[in-house]
Structure 1
Amino acid sequence: MTYFIGVDIGGTTSTLAIGDESRQVVAVSDQFPTAPQDGPGAVIAAIVRQASVELERLGATLENVPFVGLATPGPATQDGVLLKTPNLDPKQWDRFGIREELEKAFRAVSPRLEVCYIGDGQAAALGEFAIRNRSLSWDGAPADKLPAEDLHSLFMVIVGTGFGGGAVVDGNPLRGKEGRAGHVGHILLPEYAFRHDHDRQLVVGNAKSTAESAVSLTGLTHQLEYRLTLPEWADHKLNAAGGTTKEKARQLRELAAAGDPLAVELFDDQARALGLAMLSVNYLGDYDRLVIGGGVCDLASDVRDRYRLTAEESYREHALDGFRNLDRLEFSVCGDAAPVIGALAWVLP
């Protein structure tokens, strides 16, 4: 039996997906620690070790694998040379050829194995597209639960610690001249996308007022720190709570589900900014489907519905007439697995 592997490397953990020649996803691993602070060598060794463990459960070895798809956070070159990637120490990771070095490590076990690189935002979009158009089967998103839609293109955003994205056009991920396409987090938003001047001042990359400044856990943390200094929120429970502001920001999902006014306000602000970002994306691509992925997919159902509707309202409010006919935004059907499913789809025949 021939198998194919997808690898998604994150900031602290990684995930593997395994598929077969019939384009069936046969296994998706739990997240496993890869400790990037220990350097590239430790991460590569952990991936090779976990791949062997996952294959052994299927009665196979790396000798059964001709191709591995690799996805990492960007920016990076087409061939997987990392370029000061966020959340990875540049002293250890900048200009590191992750694709080539992972291939060397795999070839020490299986000499003919090849590793193919794709950015994680591009991979997420490809994974979502492949599952939605049913060119790839996965029990994690059964076909009878998928929306019935004729897809040719899609843009997907990933709302997490940062804000990334990727596009698929005519079934192919849009990679760009140097592999950098999809960095939606760095587009600039208008002043009215932010409630307070303080919110616009968060520098992401080399700019203020970016989409990631407004739509990310990093943005929420920056905004929450300021909101808690305002008189209207002086008695808020988070002012009395211990921990860092980032740890407090991680509590906002639960607080929003309980109807906490500050948490609801922050997620409403984020959703309105997301609607503006999605509109900018669609002006350029005119996509069949706009999809929201990442941590916001795990919001409580009523909060998630409010978030989507608020983003749609913001999109339509500011859209040209020709773009106002958006039927709806969609949440990801793949969830956090979208990038690893896409990395696998990248190398499937």
Structure 2
Amino acid sequence: MTVLAVDIGGTKFAAAAVEDDGTIMARAEVPLKGRTRPEEALLEVVGRVTGEVPAARLEGAGIGSAGPLDPVAGTVSPVNIPAWRDFPVVEALGRLLPGRPVRLAGDGQCMALGEWWRGLPEREPSGAVLGMVVSTGVGGGLVLAGEPYLGPTGNAGHIGHITADPDGEPCPCGAAGCVETLASGPSMVRWARANGWTGEDARALALDAGAGVAVAGLAFRRAADALATAILTASALLDLDRVVIGGGVAAAGPVLMDPLRQAVARNAGLGFLRRLRVTATGLGRDAGLLGAAALVLPR
């Protein structure tokens, strides 16, 4: 069985053809920069995949998208894609795969499901896993006892919109001081520039942090503290076993993960919180695609 997986992020769209054992047969990625019609990028990235694996071979599609979203209506309104508000993404893909199932979940939910399905070597059937996508925004998703927990509206896991600083800057979601305003790539770069850094983007900021540039390192420590607040809040509520961190900013490696683990350990007061394991994704960018595929594949 082969299905189409689509990962909708704030700066790029990715797609892949995925087998039921997790093998990725074909993949493609398309940036959004400079595009006024994101749906054209969606058609392009899917077209690249179906150019290698014909659509007739695909038995369904799973979509992981930045949110908010409405899985019942099949629409998405990603905070970081202003051109899409209530965009009917399920209908759009359904036209390419008529008569086959198309399922939608949050990108963080798909990342968590992908890690649970193909990434965690000691997977516990009854375990509780939080996946976090730290990139253009900060998203999240939950897998509880082997199933993605979507919530009544399909938006469970919006951990980037937990308040980390009540007096903080406004967030695109309409609140203030959200984790995303401190820990997303653009937020970190904006803060670093306001404090004298002159680099270009989050990748350069990570390189400078690794090279010992003080303001760059502090930007990552601020982000780590905000992420730790969200992680411990979620764990206190849900008694999590593991948190898996992915996304472009998370690819910075130790400059984020070291201060993040330190902040979690420093603030984990309750005994059950101290057993929490925080790790980087073992699947990299494939986690979200595999999780999207798992929405329609038998696991």
> Structure 2 stretches of 5 or more lacking a match?
none
Instruction: Work out the CA distance in 2 between the residues paired with 1:267 and 1:132.
Output: 26
Higher percent of residues as helix: 1
Match of 2:183 in 1: 215
| 117, 124, 131: which one aligns with 1:150 | 124
**Equivalent pair of 2:32/2:38 in contact (CA under 8 Å):** no
- Aligned Cα RMSD in Å? 2.4
Instruction: Work out the CA distance in 1 between the residues paired with 2:131 and 2:190.
Output: 24
Higher percent of residues as strand: 2
**Equivalent pair of 1:74/1:82 in contact (CA under 8 Å):** no
Instruction: Work out the CA distance in 2 between the residues paired with 1:216 and 1:27.
Output: 31
Match of 2:71 in 1: 78
Instruction: Work out the CA distance in 2 between the residues paired with 1:203 and 1:48.
Output: 31
Instruction: Work out the CA distance in 2 between the residues paired with 1:181 and 1:101.
Output: 24
- How far the C-alpha of 1:83 sits from its partner, in A, is 5.0
Match of 1:94 in 2: 85
**Equivalent pair of 2:184/2:249 in contact (CA under 8 Å):** no
Change (3 A) 1:46 1:80: farther
Deviations, residues 94-128 of structure 1 (Å, cap 9, x unaligned) = 12211012201332xxxx32321122111111111
Q: Which runs of 4+ in 1 moved over 6 A?
A: none
- Is 2:275 aligned against 1:275? no
Match of 1:18 in 2: 17
Deviations, residues 180-199 of structure 1 (Å, cap 9, x unaligned) = 111111111146xxxxx7xx
Higher alpha-carbon Rg = 1
> Structure 1 stretches of 5 or more lacking a match?
56-60, 134-146, 192-196, 229-235, 242-246
Change (3 A) 1:328 1:276: same
Change (3 A) 1:248 1:126: closer
Deviations, residues 264-316 of structure 1 (Å, cap 9, x unaligned) = 111122112211111011111111111111123322xxxx3353232223223
**Equivalent pair of 1:167/1:174 in contact (CA under 8 Å):** yes
Match of 1:163 in 2: 138
- How far the C-alpha of 1:205 sits from its partner, in A, is 1.2
- How far the C-alpha of 1:87 sits from its partner, in A, is 2.6
TM-score, structure 2 normalization: 0.89
SS in structure 1 of the partner of residue 4 of structure 2: strand
Match of 1:5 in 2: 4
Change (3 A) 1:29 1:39: same
| 119, 126, 150: which one aligns with 1:132 | 119
Change (3 A) 1:44 1:14: closer
Question: Number of paired residues?
Answer: 297
Change (3 A) 1:335 1:15: same
Structure 2 counterpart of 1:70, one-letter code? I
- How far the C-alpha of 1:85 sits from its partner, in A, is 1.8
Instruction: Work out the CA distance in 2 between the residues paired with 1:53 and 1:7.
Output: 15
- How far the C-alpha of 1:132 sits from its partner, in A, is 2.7
Structure 2 counterpart of 1:105, one-letter code? L
- Is 2:287 aligned against 1:334? no
Instruction: Work out the CA distance in 2 between the residues paired with 1:316 and 1:41.
Output: 43
Change (3 A) 1:165 1:227: same
